[in-house]
């Protein structure tokens, strides 16, 4: 192998390692945050009880958001399901942004947007490692499909 090609390959591996390390660190941070914030939504005397009542949501909806945040927080640290957990949390955060926009809480919306972008990146970063659906075959990796199929052999 040519030395320039080897250096390029090594630098690409380095970039991939740095991206994966960054994804792990961001995933761990988000997991801790969402598990903590989801868990406190079950406290009947907590801040979120009053907030959900003020926004006009029933108790069961606060619990549903808490379950989604806790389970999403756990899922974002399991690489083969991290994308699904992150996308679930993106849906929760989209709802939170809409509620906060309705109350003119623009600083909250900016923070929510930051977390939503981080979750979207986690979903993108771990997407190639996701598990196929039950009973289905794994999809081929991008760029691995060739035109030399069964009827097109050279």
Model pLDDT for residues 87-103, shown as the tens digit of each residue: 999 999 999 999 999 88
Model pLDDT for residues 3-61, shown as the tens digit of each residue: 666 566 557 777 788 888 888 999 999 999 999 999 999 998 888 998 899 999 998 99
Question: What are the structure tokens assigned to 46, written together?
Answer: 């907590």
pLDDT bracket for residue 133 (50, 70, 90):
low
The answer to whether residues 86 and 125 touch, using CB atoms and an 8 Å cutoff, is no
Residue-level pLDDT at 2: 64
- The whole-angstrom distance between residue 94's C-alpha and the CA centroid of its chain comes to 13
Residue-level pLDDT at 30: 95
């Amino acid at each position: 192998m040519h030395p320039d090609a080897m250096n390029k390959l090594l630098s690409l591996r380095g970039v991939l390692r740095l991206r994966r390390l960054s994804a792990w660190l961001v995933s761990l941070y988000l997991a801790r945050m969402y598990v903590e914030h989801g868990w406190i939504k079950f406290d009947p005397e907590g801040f979120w009880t009053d907030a959900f009542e003020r926004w006009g949501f029933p108790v069961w909806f606060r619990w549903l958001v808490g379950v989604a945040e806790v389970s999403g927080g756990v899922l974002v640290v399991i690489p083969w399901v991290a994308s699904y957990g992150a996308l679930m949390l993106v849906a929760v955060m989209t709802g939170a942004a809409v509620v906060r926009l309705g109350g003119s809480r623009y600083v909250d919306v900016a923070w929510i947007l930051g977390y939503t972008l981080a979750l979207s990146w986690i979903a993108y970063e771990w997407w190639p490692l996701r598990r196929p659906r039950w009973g289905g075959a794994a999809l081929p990796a991008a760029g691995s499909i060739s035109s030399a199929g069964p009827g097109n052999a050279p």
